Amino acid sequence: MDHESKVLGVDVSFDRDSFMQKMLRDLAGVLQDSIGVREARGFVSIVGARMGDALNDMYRKALGQSTLNGDQVVDVMIDLKHRIGGDFYVISQDSDQIVLGNRKCPFGANVEGRPAMCMMTSNVFGRIAAENLGYACVSVEESFANGNDHCLVRLTLDPNSPKKPLDNSREYFRIGETVADGKLDI
């Protein structure tokens, strides 16, 4: 049976992608409504971290690299978002910070009012950057989920940077490393 055919012969605008987006929106909504936005972000963070690690491994293998450099990390983040329907681009990049913009959310209108879903971006980007560059502090400063007409994501790559955002950010470390006495330790 052809799964794309209209079995009933009615015009219904519904497919696998719209089903998955609606399911994720409803799941995030149920979590936000039942346990709160902060706790919902925690649950989405766990999934995002797992996705980030899996995507990092996939891209490293595809690029034939055991570790990606800063330019490759940015290219990977942009590529993976484009593959799922986002439109991320570099606003600025230096050795201390990466600032990305986004003109189109992969979740479309389903992300509106669901800021917990932004933790997917934070965790995927944070895990990829930290595993390759040692550390990342990620801040989703503007988002479609919060009513903006774009997204602005800032990744600070130095734990001691004066550019590091103080609010609405999450820190990510290479597995096995922590910050002690202001230095990254293995």
Domain boundaries along the sequence of the chain: 16-176
| CATH architecture assigned to 16-176 | 2-Layer Sandwich (3.30)
- The 3-state DSSP class for residue 114 equals coil
Burial class (CB in 10 A: 0-12, 13-18, 19+), 184: middle
pLDDT band for 79, please (50, 70, 90 cuts): very high
Residues in Cβ contact with 111 at an 8 Å cutoff, skipping those fewer than 6 apart:
25, 105, 117, 118, 143, 144, 145
> Which amino acid does the sequence have at 17?
D
> Which amino acid does the sequence have at 38?
R
pLDDT in tens, 6-63: 667 777 777 778 788 788 878 888 888 898 877 877 777 888 888 999 999 999 999 9
pLDDT band for 65, please (50, 70, 90 cuts): very high
Assess contact for 78 and 86: CB atoms under 8 A.
no
Confidence check: pLDDT of 182 > 80 = no
Confidence check: pLDDT of 125 > 90 = yes
